[in-house]
Structure 1
Amino acid sequence: MSIQSSEEMWKLLGLLLKSHPWHGVMIGDKAPEVVTTFIEIVPTDTIKYEVDKDTGFLKVDRPQRYSNVCPALYGFVPQTYCGDSTAEFCKEKSGIDVEGDSDPLDICILSEKQITHGNILLQAIPIGGFRMIDGNEADDKIIAVMKGDLVYGNYRSINDIPPIVVDRLRHYFLTYKQIPGESDKTTCEITHTYDRDEAFEVIRRSQTDYLDKFGDLKGLLTQMIPFQND
């Protein structure tokens, strides 16, 4: 069987091989308005899972500390990277000298429906975010709603979300590293809660940082793997 194009080759590879959730999953043609997301943890998880960057498998990061569990679906946006451009935007808005945290862009997604496990993809609509700084690193948390959700799906602004929901998310991110009974050693802070336009800019910059860091992986692999073009 001859392969007529690189696109046909990639479709065949997709049938045989599991895509790495960070590098092999497309962010989507409608980004930043709608983005593909990879969910690592859900609100019922008492273990914090995260993707192993080398293998793409979920791994145990640590048990959630005491009763502190994430109040929303939580994961990252594929083919994003928090590097120089993302850090520069954070510095511009916060006035704090930071660098990127060298991770994919974090995202939490609100949904009426209970999703019982992670390691899944879903389409999300970004509506805002937290400008979070962890130590001296930019660590933005995009806030989004699940596309098509009957309760949250029509929200298009952080101001559409009930304040208590935003407060719960803020509390989680400010306390999830703390251990009761020990002195507060965390240096996490949230300097701003921003609306969708700034969320879109953070996503765009993280896409730019990804290309600067990793290049066009699909294009590079297409050049490396020969195919027959009749």
Structure 2
Amino acid sequence: MANLNQPPSRVTPNLLHILNAFTDSSNTIINSIVELNSNTINKYELITETGHLKLDRVGYSSLAYPFAYGCIPRTWDEDGDPLDVEIVGVTEPLIPGSIVEARIIGVMKFDDGGEVDDKVIAVLADDKRMDHISSYEDLGDHWLKETKYYWEHYKDLKKPGTCTVNGFFGIEEAVKVIKDCEERYKKEIDPKLVN
């Protein structure tokens, strides 16, 4: 059984507030809380106060997520949510609500209706099939086009033209984004935690 080094409790621990963003000092592996798998149109989101998953919305079109998706613990993005992570190349469905270690390969800068909503790009840390992927660029032009298309059109039936991908960037920029979101979490969320 996995151990989070927490005392027994009748209350489910909120992984968002217990786990660190980075798993090691090299800042290349992150903890990720899985919210949904690829090929789904339903959007589940972590309830930040309790750590439970909630169906946030049913997709407005048949455009499905092209990657597994989740969030990074102890981070807070400018949109008022934990920093998002796209986990690419997943061959078996992940269990929503589970924790996976993911290796950072880049970041996608994203504007969602005027809000900064960046997405870290990662692969499962222990997936040997992904060892040849060291950067988002290794995913190829088609993956970049597909991902850009998804994000710029997934809200077209609700609010057309409100989402813009502002580019893909490397690991160094991804680490900077994560650290900035860690600092924002420390300032905005840590003081509000009860225990």
2:17 aligned counterpart, secondary structure? coil
Is 2:182 aligned against 1:204? no
Provide closer, same or farther for how the CA distance between residues 107 and 14 of structure 1 changes in structure 2, counting only shifts above 3 A.
farther
TM-score, normalized by length of structure 2? 0.87
Instruction: Give the residue type in structure 2 aligned to 1:46.
Output: I
Give the equivalent residue in structure 2 for 1:228. none
| Partner Cα distance (1:154, 1:19) in 2 | 36
Give the equivalent residue in structure 2 for 1:51. 46
Deviation at 1:170, TM superposition (A): 1.6
Q: Deviations over 1:5-50 (max 9, x none)?
A: xxxxx83525654221321233244263100000101013332111
Is 2:34–2:94's contact at 8 Å kept on the other side of the alignment? no
| Partner Cα distance (2:160, 2:141) in 1 | 28
Give the equivalent residue in structure 1 for 2:20. 26
Give the equivalent residue in structure 1 for 2:143. 165
For residues 81-160 of structure 1, the aligned pairs below 5 Å read 81-82=76-77, 100-160=78-138
Instruction: Give the residue type in structure 1 aligned to 2:51.
Output: G
Length, aligned pairs only: 191
Is 1:105–1:140's contact at 8 Å kept on the other side of the alignment? yes
Is 2:2 aligned against 1:13? no
Give the equivalent residue in structure 2 for 1:193. 168
Q: Structure 1: which 5+ residue stretches go unaligned? A: 1-9, 83-99, 222-230
1:212 aligned counterpart, secondary structure? helix
Task: Please say which of residues 68-77 and 116-125 is displaced more in the overlay.
Answer: 116-125
Provide closer, same or farther for how the CA distance between residues 155 and 198 of structure 1 changes in structure 2, counting only shifts above 3 A.
same
Larger Rg: 1
Q: How high is the sequence identity, in percent, across the aligned residues? A: 25
Root-mean-square deviation (CA, aligned residues, Å) is 2.3
Q: Which has the higher contact order (CA 8 A, sep 6+)?
A: 1
